[in-house]
Amino acid sequence: MLYSIGEVAKKLDISTYTLRYYDKEGLLPFVDRNAAGRRVFKDEDFNYLETISCLKEAGLPVKQIASFIELCLAGDRTLDERYDFLLEQETDLEAKMASLQHTLDFLRWKKWYYKRALAAGTESVNCLPETTLTDPAVRAKFDQLVADGADPKQLGELDRT
Amino acid sequence: MLYSIGEVAKKLDISTYTLRYYDKEGLLPFVDRNAAGRRVFKDEDFNYLETISCLKEAGLPVKQIASFIELCLAGDRTLDERYDFLLEQETDLEAKMASLQHTLDFLRWKKWYYKRALAAGTESVNCLPETTLTDPAVRAKFDQLVADGADPKQLGELDRT
DNA sequence: ATAAAAGTTAGAGCTAGCTCTAAGTCAAGC
DNA sequence: GCTTGACTTAGAGCTAGCTCTAACTTTTAT
């Protein structure tokens, strides 16, 4: 099976502009051309496209993805380099996810903070007297609930019955 | 305690340029000025700065963060809006993390793929005969190992003794 | 045979998020 | 009193990643 750039764009739900931009940046050196100079995608190209979209999702800049694709096309002598590259991306992504988990923890603490404020009708229930500084005891209370096994997501959940 | 823009920049490990840019974009309306017009940060401002850096980490555009900060300064009448905002960010971030988990799964499958290729000395062990299409049976094997309880991270780990 | 749809290139334009420069003010140390 | 360094503003400049335009060619449908 062969596919035009428009068909590929539709399948991957991206614009033909973007695909041509990727090609220009060296992400699609594997794409063939027909006699008229039009891009012709093959079934096996979707292997590469899947890899590209994965690396993009992981947050890699286009140039780095291009150099990985280049390694792929260079044949079996770059197998170890490709493995190392993927290992590095795995490590980076694990770090990123850990960081996002902290961000999520923060959002949940703040949700609980606002749930308390809503119940009291005022944010000041969470603050030290006469200030807008968060009362460390309030934060400690939240941490304690979580340490005692409460689900941080549900702790901040509002009853809207 | 009061802090200059330079001190805050050092504490947060960002540039003073960036802090002024944030101010220009409305992220720091809470920062006071001294008689000479210089920015003066208070201890309680770090509450906001922590929130800002959390929302940035979550991937929110600066303008959206600015509108949340505006809500915060508007007082108790916006408590419910602020709660809803955080709830939405939590939902979005959960979706994002799920998507990154898929990306990580893909990287680990590819690591295993290359581990196999390295062991054989050639990528073709993973492909259908006479093609560069990944053999579905190879992929299925990996999925089976994971389904049987193997750690996808360790499956692709290389022995480098 | 011709009109519409889809492809091609080169290159301009756009947005977000910084990052820096220029010209000037202010504060601290010698 | 003078230099050094940190601050101020307005606005220019930069990069990444698209996104689109213009001018042209090819393919498809009527």
Is residue B83 within 8 Å of residue A111, measured between CB atoms?
A: yes
B3-18 tens-digit pLDDT: 999 999 999 999 999 9
Query: B99: distance to nearest CA of chain A, Å?
Result: 8
Number of domains observed in the structure of chain B: 2
B116-143 tens-digit pLDDT: 999 999 999 999 999 999 999 999 999 9
| Domain extent at residue B15 | 2-73
* B93: in domain: no
* A30: in domain: yes
Same domain, A69 and A12: yes
* B137: in domain: yes
Identify the residue whose Cα has the smallest distance to the C1' of C20. B17
* A91: in domain: no
pLDDT of res. A159: 83
Of all nucleotides, the one whose C1′ comes closest to residue A36's CA is D26
Same domain, B142 and B105: yes
Nucleotides of C under 7 A from a protein CB: 6-9, 16-21, 25-27
Q: What is the mean pLDDT of residues A19-33?
A: 98
> In chain B, which residues have their Cβ closer than 8 Å to the Cβ of A86?
107, 110-111, 114, 156
pLDDT of res. B160: 77
Q: What is the mean pLDDT of residues A18-33?
A: 98
The answer to whether B83 contacts A114, with C-beta atoms less than 8 Å apart, is yes
Q: Please tell me whether any atom of strand D lies within 7 Å of the Cβ of B4.
A: yes
Same domain, A12 and A65: yes
Among A20, A41, A73, the domain-final residue is A73
Q: Are strands A2-3 and A39-42 parallel, antiparallel or unpaired?
A: antiparallel
- Our CA dihedral for B94, B108, A66, A72, rounded to 10 degrees, sits at -160
Q: Which CATH number characterizes residue A66's domain?
A: 1.10.1660.10
Same domain, B27 and B66: yes
The average confidence (pLDDT) of chain A is 96
* B124: in domain: yes
The answer to whether B54 contacts A131, with C-beta atoms less than 8 Å apart, is no
Is pLDDT above 80 for A141?
yes
* A86: in domain: no
Is pLDDT above 90 for B159?
no
Identify the residue whose Cα has the smallest distance to the C1' of C17. B62
Measured CA to CA in angstroms, residue B128 lies from A80, A106, B111 at distances of: 21, 48, 19
* A90: in domain: no
The answer to whether B80 contacts A118, with C-beta atoms less than 8 Å apart, is yes
